[in-house]
Structure 1
Amino acid sequence: MASSGFSNRKNFGIGGILISHIERQQPSPPTVIVIGGGISGISAARALYNASFKVILLESRNRLGGRVHTDYSFGCPVDMGASWLHGVCNENSLAPLIRSLGLRLYRTSGDNSVLYDHDLESYALFDKDGNQVPQQVVIKVGETFERILKETEKVRVEHATDMSLLQAISIVLDRNPHLRQEGLEYEVLQWYICRMEAWFAADADTISLQNWDQEHVLSGGHGLMVQGYHPVIQALAKDLDIRLNHRVKKISQRSNRVIITVENGNTFIADAAIITVPLGVLKANLIEFEPKLPEWKLSAISDLGVGNENKIALRFNSVFWPNVEVLGKVAQTSDACGYFLNLHKATGNPVLVYMVAGRFAYEIEKLSDEEAVNFVMSQLKKIIPDAMDPVQYLVSRWGTDPDSLGSYSCDLVGKPADLYERLCAPVENLYFAGEAASADHSGSVHGAYTSGIMAAGVCRRRLSVQHGMSDLFQLVMREEFAEAVVPLQISRM
Structure 2
Amino acid sequence: MTPDARNAMKRRTFLIGVTGLSTLVLTACVSPAPRPSASATATPTPEPKPTVSPVPKPAQMRRTSWSADPFARGSYSFAAVDSTPEQRTALAQPVLDRVFFAGEATSPDAPGTVQGGRDTGLRAAREVISAAAPGERIAVIGAGIAGLSAARFLKDAGFEVVLVEARDRIGGRIDTVSDKNWPFPIELGPSFVSHSGTTSLDEEFTRLGIATAPFPSASETRTDAGTVVAVPDTGQKAVATALAWATQQASDMSVQSALDGSGASKLSTADAGGGVSEADWLAFRVATVLDIDAGASVDHQSGWYTSADAGADDERIVLGGYAGLLTKAAEGIDLLDSSVVTKLAYRDTGVSLRLGTGESLSADRVIVTVPLGVLKSGVLEFDPALPFAHRGAIADLGMGTLDKVWLQFDEPFWSTAAPLWTTVGGDEDFRVWINMMPLTGEPVLVGLVAGDTALRLAGADDATVLAAALRGLTPFYVPPTPTPTPTPTV
Give the shorter-chain TM-score range.
Answer: 0.5 to 0.7
Pairing of 1:283-322 with structure 2 (within 5 A): 283-321=376-414, 322=416
Counterpart of 2:183? 75
CA distance in 2, matches of 1:279, 1:261: 20
Q: Give, in whole Å, the separation in 2 of the partners of 1:228 and 1:185.
A: 41
Correspondence 1:412-451 to 2 at 5 A: none
Q: Give matches, 1:78-93, under 5 Å.
A: 78-89=186-197, 91-93=198-200
When the two structures are superposed, what TM-score results if normalisation uses the length of structure 1?
A: 0.64
Flag the 1:146–1:188 CA change in 2: closer, same or farther, 3 A: closer
Distance 1:331 1:176 in 2: 17
Question: Where does residue 366 of structure 1 map in the other structure?
Answer: 459
Alignment root-mean-square deviation, CA? 2.8
SS in structure 2 at match of 1:66: coil
Change (3 A) 1:336 1:268: closer
What do the CA deviations read for 1:466-489 (whole angstroms, capped 9, x no partner)?
xxxxxxxxxxxxxxxxxxxxxxxx
User: Cα deviation per residue 1:125-167 (whole Å; 9 max; x = unaligned)?
Assistant: 23223x2233xx32xx2x3333333323430342121122233
Once the 2 structures are TM-superposed, how far is the Cα of residue 214 of structure 1 from its aligned partner?
A: 8.8
Deviations 1:251-292, CA, capped at 9 Å, x for gaps = 111442111121112221111000000111110011111112
8 Å CA contact retained: 2:241, 2:264? no
- In structure 1, the partner of 2:234 is 144
Task: Provide the secondary structure at the position in 1 that maps to 2:146.
Answer: helix
CA distance in structure 2 between the aligned counterparts of 1:37 and 1:365, rounded to whole angstroms? 24
Contact 1:70 1:228 in 2 (8 A): yes
Q: Are the structure 2 counterparts of residues 43 and 87 from structure 1 closer, same or farther at C-alpha, using a change threshold of 3 Å?
A: same
Counterpart for residue 228 of structure 2: 133
Secondary structure of the equivalent of 2:228?
A: coil
Match of 2:24 in 1: none
1:174 shift after superposition: 4.7
Is the counterpart of residue 97 in structure 1 residue 204 in structure 2? Answer: yes
Q: 1:168 aligns with which of 258, 261, 265?
A: 258
CA drift at 1:319:
2.3
Pairing of 1:35-434 with structure 2 (within 5 A): 35-73=141-179, 74-89=182-197, 91-109=198-216, 118-119=217-218, 123-129=219-225, 131-134=226-229, 137-138=230-231, 141=232, 143-174=233-264, 182=272, 183-186=275-278, 187-196=280-289, 197-213=291-307, 221-321=314-414, 322-332=416-426, 336=429, 338-384=431-477, 386=479
- Mapped to 1, the partners of 2:293 and 2:449 lie a distance apart of 10
Q: Which has the higher helix share?
A: 1
1:328 shift after superposition: 2.5
Q: Amino acid of the residue matched to residue 462 of structure 2?
A: D
SS in 1 for 2:438: helix
What is the CA–CA distance in structure 1 between the aligned matches of 2:370 and 2:309, rounded to whole Å? Answer: 22
For the 8 Å contact 1:88–1:220, the answer to whether it is kept is no
- State the alpha-carbon separation in 2 of the partners of residues 304 and 360 from structure 1: 20
Secondary structure of the 1:41 match is helix
Q: Is the 8 A contact 1:316 1:351 kept in 2?
A: yes
Q: Tell me: CA distance 1:253–1:227, structure 2 relative to 1, closer, same or farther (3 Å).
A: same
Render the CA deviation track for 1:335-384: whole Å, top value 9, x for unaligned. Answer: 75612111222233321111100011011111112321122123223541
Query: For residues 434 and 265 of structure 2, what CA distance do their matches in structure 1 show?
Result: 35
The one-letter code of the counterpart of 1:148 is: A
Shift of 1:215: 9.4
CA distance in 1, matches of 2:170, 2:256: 37
Consecutive unaligned residues in structure 2, runs of 5 or more = 1-131, 481-490
Contact map agreement 1:327 1:341 (CA 8 A) in 2: yes
The aligned amino acid for 1:132 is T
Query: What CA distance in whole angstroms lies between the structure 1 residues aligned with 2:292 and 2:471?
Result: 20
Aligned residue type for 1:159: Q
Q: Secondary structure at the match of 1:207?
A: coil
Aligned to 1:251, what secondary structure does the other structure show?
Answer: strand
